[in-house]
Amino acid sequence: MPHLSTTAIVCALRHHGEHGAIARLLTPGDGLLPGYVRGGRSRTMRPVLLPGNVVMAEFRARTEDQLAGLTVELAHSRAPLHAEPLPAAAIDWSCALTAASLPEGTPYPALHQALSGLLDAVEAAPAARGWAAALVRYELLLLAELGFGLDLTRCAALGDTTDLAYVSPRSAAAVSRTAAVGYENRLLPLPPFLLEGGMGDWDQIIDGLRLTGFFLERSVLTDRRADVLAARERLVERLKRAVA
């Protein structure tokens, strides 16, 4: 990537040196890319490089292996949402998850489209009713794109395609209510909205987050549990308080 000009979603920012920063951006066609922003910690650049913002980005590097220099221009700001605890937690988690999970330089166009849609939903409905189900679906998509997808099409034990109510934590496959008898406490609830569509009620959404969280922690975030999962825990706790 000697030179690339593209729109991108800001996912993470890390201080580098006295004044600079390394930003990690999710691009539509080239996946997650890092770049060094000169003056990235300045008062001018801080509101531009907030997670969730859309920027016009220009990456320049002498070689494929060199960290690219990055210049950015704000295309769409979601800064006001960072002042609201619940939307801020949703943006922080979804962007942190993306930055921590994806290998750099691998295209994930479906994830870029899904993250963009999720952030749009958070912006349109900050109260969470309009985006919580989309967050669960984004996490499911990320698991699938990374090769850890759940099989929710049929029962792992009996082959049933109806009355699917649980997921096996061992096989990541659905389990029917009949096959689950006597083993319910060893299985993860499968919220109906993931099979039937729609928004789901709050109990279903919390079950959905518990389901995806289990597999994200086990398969994807194995080396970064403490720092990245803390953002998810803040979000889940705020959701629970919001619907209590």
Residue boundaries of the structural domains of the chain: 1-77, 80-152+190-244
Q: CA 161 to CA 154: how far, in whole Å?
A: 4
More confident residue, 243 or 168: 168
Q: CA 86 to CA 150: how far, in whole Å?
A: 27
Q: CA 244 to CA 238: how far, in whole Å?
A: 10
More confident residue, 229 or 118: 118
98: Cβ contacts below 8 Å, ≥ 6 apart: 9, 11, 26, 32, 111, 115, 142
pLDDT > 70? residue 224: no
How many C-beta atoms surround the C-beta of residue 42 within 10 A? 14
pTM over 0.85: yes
Instruction: Note the pLDDT tens digit of each residue in 160-209.
Output: 899 999 999 999 999 999 999 999 999 999 999 999 988 889 999 999 99
Strand 54-60 to strand 20-27: parallel, antiparallel, or no bridges (unpaired)?
A: unpaired
Query: Going by CATH, does the domain composed of 1-77 fall within 2.40.50.140?
Result: yes
pLDDT > 80? residue 51: yes
Would you report the helix, strand and coil content of the chain in percent, each value rounded to 5? 40, 25, 35
